[in-house]
Amino acid sequence: MDIDVVVANNGHAKYAQEICDEMYVSAQERGTGIAKRTPEYIIEKMRAGKAVIAIAKNGRFAGFSYIETWEGKKYVANSGLIVAHAFRGIGLATRIKQRIFRLSREKYPDAKIFSITTGAAVMKMNYELGFRPVPFGELTHDPEFWKGCQGCKNFPILQNNGYRMCLCTGLLYDPAEHITVEDAARPADKNKTE
């Protein structure tokens, strides 16, 4: 199936309600909650260039994800990853996750990128991108982020644990932990004598 995964823009606003509906239905199917978003919120992310959308060649909506920033852009969350039912099982979630991750790194190269999830597939995708599991204490401390968990049936667990743990796993990509081969070779080059 031919599907484009692109940075969303104002022209994709027509899909906002469908995205919200798909997020809601998927959360119900998983038996958890999800931070409820309005079509206006989704459109705002599209206009700001902080979202990725997957569109089939026939114009059908296939998937979506967006970026949120916290603590003065010190932390970035890749949020709202969704694949429409008709497009599941073909690897599209991985493509969307890879593109939203790249977009996060392009827009916020020094930010720590994080995710919280109970889904094994999302954990695997994050791991393959260089994320590691961390306690919630290593994620953003911004109370606005944690308000997004209020729609989840497990929110009382999070509250009772002082926002330090829940049934979700926290995953973090810290760019400071990922150096390139060239960066690693530089100090050794300085020690060479001619």
115 strand-pairing partners: 171
The verdict on residue 185 lying in a domain is: no
In a structure prediction context, what are the per-residue pLDDT tens digits for the chain, which is 194 residues long?
A: 699 999 999 999 999 999 999 988 887 777 665 667 899 999 999 999 999 999 999 999 999 999 999 999 999 999 889 999 999 999 999 999 999 999 999 999 999 999 988 888 889 999 999 999 999 989 998 988 888 788 778 889 989 998 888 888 899 999 999 866 555 554 544 444 44
The verdict on residue 121 lying in a domain is: yes
Number of domains in the chain: 1
Domain with 51 in it: 3-180
Place of tokens 């970026």: 67
The verdict on residue 192 lying in a domain is: no
- Label residue 67 exposed, middle or buried (CB < 10 Å: 0-12, 13-18, 19+): buried
The verdict on residue 158 lying in a domain is: yes
The verdict on residue 174 lying in a domain is: yes
Helix (H, G, I), strand (E, B) or coil at 111: coil
The verdict on residue 189 lying in a domain is: no
CATH number at residue 76: 3.40.630.30
pTM for the predicted model, two decimal places: 0.84
Place of tokens 């401390």: 141
The verdict on residue 187 lying in a domain is: no
